[in-house]
Structure 1
Amino acid sequence: MKLSKEVKTGVLVLAGIALFIFGYNYLKGKNLFESTDVYYTEFDYNALDKSSPITVNGNNVGKIQDIVYDYNSGKTRVSFEVNEALKFSKNSIIKMYETGLMGGNGLAILISTDGEQAKPGDVLPSTVEFGLVTSLSKSFSGISDNLDSTLQSTDTLMVSINKLVNDNSDAGLKRTIQELNHTLQSFKNTSNSVNAVISNNDKNITAILEKFKTISADLAVLTTDLKNANLGTTVENLNGTLNKLNTILATIEKGEGSMGKLLKDEALYKNLEGATKEMEALLKDIKLHPKRYFRVLSKKEIPYQEE
């Protein structure tokens, strides 16, 4: 079959367009014949561009597709694509790191196999790792702040010293030296007094230290004895005993059991009170009229008469 010039021209144009699209995407690092999956992650700020690499253990496995600002959350959302053969779970972390000393950042996938497998379109958690340059910059910044504070303190000290010796006359300088000598002499006297006190009480200090040493040893022995005495079991048993005692007291308070009825039963109390009174009257009557109860003393029965 013979094709016309128009058809050949159209085929060549379509082939040229296809080659142009393929070449353009190839130069951008995208292979049209390679299947990829798209995932998302978010950062508090943007330090990436579309040419930033996506790596796993230092190996390039994908590229950034898009970087947009989310107006709702206030975060930077990054979409990236990786080869569909790469499998990892939703617990995997996307780490932004510095790729070199000259700047530039990339994304590393810290693969985790725990949990549910990630699917295309999932939003993965992120983290930021500061590199050597950023760490050194922060360290030097802190050193600079501390150095500024030190220099300010030094300047204040020098101003105070200048005010102290502002009198340039010989009399002012002599007076300053004399006051300094008095201060040093007072300090020397104080030091001598402290040394004298220590020398005079050397034996007492030694005795105190010996006593402290003995007390420390006794405390160590006591601590060991308490540890070996199984104090926890003793306290637990005591706690159990107290609980039982509380139960018994609660039972008595409710009037249950013999003891509870004895303390709470008013009728029993009245009966005991009546019996006590009758026993008291009986003993009193025995003392007053013993012949009523002992037939040896009197053969005639004497009836009881209540007073």
Structure 2
Amino acid sequence: MAMSTEKKVGLFFLLALVALGAVIELVEDWSPFEDQTPYLTYFDSGVGIKVGDPVLVAGVDVGKVESVAIEKGKVRIDFYVVEGTDIREDSIASIRKANLLGGQFLGIDFDNPESPPLPPGKALRSRPTTNIDQLINNIDRNQERLMGNLGDFLEESKETFTDAVRQLESVVRKIDQGEGSLGRMVNDPALYDDLHLAVGSLKTFLDRLENGEGSLGRLLKDPTLYDEASATLVNLREISDRMKKGEGTIGRLLVEDDLYVQTGDAMAEIRELAVKVNEGKGTLGKLVNEDGLYDDASAAMQKVNSIAGKIDEGQGTLGKLVNEDGLYRDAKTTINKVEKTVDGLSDSGPLQALGVAVGTLF
């Protein structure tokens, strides 16, 4: 059976698409018009790197891996970069992961930008990389070490943990049985009742505050306190303004310098007076510094004490005047006689009055 024209055309396009895909795959890395500079490097392990993986310098795609082979116990990687790529003698190559799915690339880092360029075909220094197998082995070793140390710790602390658990069980049992303060708090309903009463009292107190009852409630609800405080602040501001302007006594004290000058002069005079007193000048200086006045005053006080003692004992005329009553009675009698004489003189002549006075007194 002959193939129809439509089928021939369809088959032709299908073969053309297959051929196009094969050509694209084969010539993907073919750049006939791009100059390439070859280099190589060595690694102890090249896990994951393969031909065609990109070469990145500072994160920029500049080439491809051309071959991966074993040479003298090392992994040799040949690669190229586009002409003009800055590869220097101290540049370092390393195998890195492009993503978490396992993609690899050959990364090249700069070191010293002043280092001379590396000639084409020369080997770059390399930095060892940790592959997934080494990472798993390290995790396994660390896990074994950690679990071993943890096991040893648990074995050494077994008795301590057992005692702690036993004591904890004892404490929980006592609490459950209502022993001790904590047990009574957990099991005694009085605590709940007291707490309920306290909450009720607090609610009542807050309600009273909300209603403006009591002193605190009035402070919260009555705007008079705020008004008075505002008025007080206004008055204080006015007083402060007046003081700044130098009004009133305090304002003059703050603004004018006369008080300061007078105070300074007074302090200078007091200092000068104190210096004179310390030097023994003047009456006050002699009183402060000389001992003669103290000795004279002490002697005078001793004499006064002696005289007072004699008077108190009734010695001498003054002592008899103070302590004996006879003198008082004689003086009173004499005063009465003088009064009678004066009364008689007013009614008699001179001679008769003289005789009356003599007779009265004697």
Task: Give the structure with the higher percent helix.
Answer: 2
TM-score (norm: length of structure 1): 0.39
TM-score by length of 2: 0.33
Q: Max radius of gyration: which structure?
A: 2
Name the structure, 1 or 2, with higher relative contact order (CA <8 Å, separation 6+).
1
